[in-house]
A and B are shown apart, each in its own frame.
Chain A
Amino acid sequence: MADRPVVLRGARVVDPAGELDAVLDLRLADARIAAVGEDLAESGDRVVDVGGLVAAPGFCDMHVHFREPGLEYKETVGSGAAAAVAGGFTAVACMANTDPVNDSPSVTAHIRQLAEQAGLAHVHPIAATTQGMNGERISEFGALKEAGAVAVSDDGLPVGNPAVMRKALEYSRLHDLPVIEHCETLELTGDGAMREGAYAAWIGLPGIPAASEFIAVERNIALAEISGARLHIAHLSTERSAAAVRRAKAAGMRVTAEVTPHHLVLTEEAVGDYDTAAKMKPPLAADADRDALLTAIADGTADAIATDHAPHHEDEKKLCFQSAPFGIVGLETAVQLVLDRLVASGAISLARAIRLLSPGPRRILGLPGGDLRPGSPADITLLDLEATGTINPESFRSRGRSTPFAGLSLKGQVAATWVGGREVYSRNAGR
């Protein structure tokens, strides 16, 4: 199906490696970038004027929960993919904690099929590390990879038994699959609902100690070291976890890490008056942790910004704080937060932000793209750095509405999202 070639005219092309920042045309043909340069339009091309916008390689959110199969009342692959492109993400990787759990090639294939039907973002399934996510027996990594799984993870539930974790890491080498781990020590979390510390003591909520995370991070890094495997740490949230990842990288280990926008922007104080939109795992942390995470995204300790998009039904998030489920949505707020709170604030450069949102996660998962060179997929995120918008959950494509950022006015918006050489989202089109 040969679409007419498209020329995106006059975009500010920002290369994530920081080597290129110039106003150029991008010519897209056969779902690939055909050329990058000046005055590329040929006769018969469709020309789209994108003057004033930044063109970045399509963003990739390597940590989302799309809830399908089984929990469609929270989110479907279709609604999740729509949220992804509206948020500027051309690709996502979805976690395995569906019902049934994605621990079989048929579930993996089913998710890919649903994504294809939606025809919006690329949806890459992450398979369960252990069968049934029960933490006991590792899954069929080989068959799962063949069916399309890009990583394994029991995200939402940590692999508690260190012997099982060691085996998963060792076995993953056979297929070079990254093992993504939600690092948490459940015994230390106990009935905790927010981060342990002054704010929890002040409003009277049971706390989750920072050690619940960093003990697991340090343990898993040690296990990755003895097994020589690739370990990816999901949603870093504490200063000490970031330090552990930095040390592992300095020692030459194949350890990578991601940070969420909410951990980079908020602290435990956001819980306010028992606001369930500030309840997630790992919990929002202290000022010192947030500062350490900002350093981690600036100095390369963190490889990716990922949202941990975890939609829940409105009724669930309306429960009292302790009963409400952990998790907030992130796909439709992440890029705006990054542009306003991280780039405009001067914490990181635009090129680094693009790196954390595109080639960073893509490299971990072995996905194509992440640059705007000829031959790369025509997956492009267009940004309007000057436009200001207000976060309005009512307008979300996601079925989840719970966000601590509702009502926030942010400078820097997603203008349009292109996947496979086609525009799948435009801010101006309204939908």
Chain B
Amino acid sequence: MRHLLGIRGLTPEEALGILDEAPRYQDVADQPVPRVPVLVGRTVTHLFMEPSTRTQASFQLAAKRLSAEPLSFVPKSSSLSKGETFLDTARTLASMAPDIVVVRSAESGAPHVLAREIPTAQVINAGDGISEHPTQALLDAFTIRKHLGRIAGVRVTIIGDLLHSRVFRSNARLLTMLGAEVRCCGPPTLVPPGLDRLGVRSLLHPEEALEGAEAVMVLRIQHERMHASFIPTEREYYREFGLTGERLARTDNAIVLHPGPLNRGVEISSEVADGPRSVILDQVRNGVAVRMAVLAEIARSSPRSHRTDG
């Protein structure tokens, strides 16, 4: 795997390969010295053009546990437009000949541009605009498989802002590719036309979308959506779409996932978030292991791998 630009472009075999490798890396965390020499001498540059605390921390921890040299590259926003900064940043980075670049950007397709502009680097997408967040989807799939024992045939319901969610897009691709049955639901203002191409079934009301689900994925609602009138108020959103105990009761004892950070009382009730079916904190744990597996897999097809003789 040269890059991980998105779930689009990934084969089921590659995806399952990462999910199968991840438990090995989960064990690393429990060792007295939680470190393995997989990426010794390699730089992993974290290029975060958009603020992110948890994804960046997760990737940094993953890189450190693999003995890589993590480098943080967080360009300050300047008077230049985001795009111009990005292009110049890419060229600057290119001059440093980095090995692996983990990129987060508010622009859809930014990892593709980076992969083109830095021919020597290997690019991992840590979230681009409203397009993809592939490692989030891999860790979600890993979590579902861990708790339910399988992915094929699992009934998954995704609720929230489908229009602006890269987590939704990556998950819809990955889960349907691995044979899950994915239904989704959100305010009609936040459900773009043409979703059937992603292989998901879109339903109007959460009650029918949740019926019989084995896993529920709750998406975060951004505050700015209220200003643009996609939804009237947070209170109204909670009333119509918030995952409450009552709504969860319609499912087939589903596990509950959320990419974080949580808006309690908006998209999810505290009762559910902290309840027995919540696997939200386990997602975070699994995230580090899955990202280690991704980094290791990418490093295997590095132009340098023949020299390091891993």
Contacts and interface: CB of A to CB of B under 8 A. Distances in A.
Contact of B193 (A196, A318, A319, A323): A196
Contacts of A207: 192-193
B131 A201 contact: no
Which of A196, A201, A273, A318 has the most B CB atoms < 10 Å from its CB?
A201
Interface in A194-222: 196-207
Interface in B79-97: 81-84, 86-87
A344 B266 CA distance: 59
Contact of B109 (A200, A315, A321): A321
A197 B112 contact: no
Interface string B90-128: 000000000000000101111011000000000000001
Nearest to B9: A273
Report the contact-size class of chain B (Cβ under 8 Å from the partner). Answer: 20 to 34
B258 interface: no
B13 interface: no
A320 interface: yes
A319 B196 CA distance: 30
A104 B107 CA distance: 39
B166 interface: yes
A274 B113 contact: yes
B193 A201 contact: yes
Interface in A320-339: 320-324
Contacts of A203: 8, 108-109, 131
Interface string A271-299: 00110000000000000000000000000
A267 to B, nearest CB: 13
A123 to B, nearest CB: 31
A273 B112 contact: yes
A205 to B, nearest CB: 5
Contact of B129 (A197, A202, A204, A315): A204
B197 interface: yes
B84 to A, nearest CB: 7
B169 A323 contact: no
B169 A204 contact: yes
Interface in B188-218: 192-198
Given A204-B129, A205-B131, A324 B83 contact: yes
A203 B9 CA distance: 11
A323 B83 contact: yes
Interface string B44-87: 00000000000000000000000000000000000001111011
B108 A323 contact: no
A204 B131 contact: yes
Contacts of B113: 274, 318-320
Interface string B166-194: 10010000000000000000000000111
B292 interface: no
Contacts of B195: 201
Contact of B130 (A204, A315, A319, A324): A204
Nearest to A268: B194
B161 interface: no
A199 B84 contact: no
A254 B205 CA distance: 48
B132 interface: yes
A273 B83 contact: no
A202 B83 contact: no
Contacts of A319: 83-84, 86-87, 113
A112 B198 CA distance: 52
A320 B105 contact: yes
Contacts of A196: 192-194
A203 B129 CA distance: 10
B49 to A, nearest CB: 10
A46 B53 CA distance: 77
A333 B107 CA distance: 30
A198 B197 contact: yes
A173 B83 CA distance: 44
A205 B108 CA distance: 6
B166 A204 contact: yes
A201 B87 contact: no
A273 B87 contact: no
Contacts of A320: 82-83, 86, 105, 107-110, 113
A273 B8 CA distance: 10
Given A203-B8, A204-B108, A274-B112, A198 B83 contact: no
Contacts of B130: 204-206
B192 A201 contact: yes
Nearest to A320: B107
A315 B107 contact: no
Contact of B196 (A198, A199, A323): A198
Contacts of A324: 83
B107 A202 contact: no
Contacts of B194: 196-202
B79 to A, nearest CB: 14
Nearest to B8: A203
Nearest to A201: B194
Contacts of A206: 130
Contacts of B105: 320
Contacts of B166: 204
Nearest to A202: B197
B108 A321 contact: yes
A193 B169 CA distance: 18
Nearest to A273: B112
A367 B193 CA distance: 44
A268 to B, nearest CB: 10
B131 A197 contact: no
A322 B112 CA distance: 13
Contacts of A202: 194, 197-198
A370 B159 CA distance: 59
A423 to B, nearest CB: 41
A319 B114 CA distance: 10
Interface of A: 193, 196-207, 273-274, 315, 318-324
Interface of B: 8, 81-84, 86-87, 105, 107-110, 112-113, 128-132, 166, 169, 192-198
14 contacts: A199-B194, A202-B194, A204-B129, A204-B130, A205-B109, A207-B193, A273-B109, A274-B109, A319-B87, A319-B113, A322-B109, A323-B84, A323-B107, A324-B83
Given A197-B194, A204-B129, A205-B109, 4 more contacts: A197-B193, A202-B198, A203-B109, A205-B108
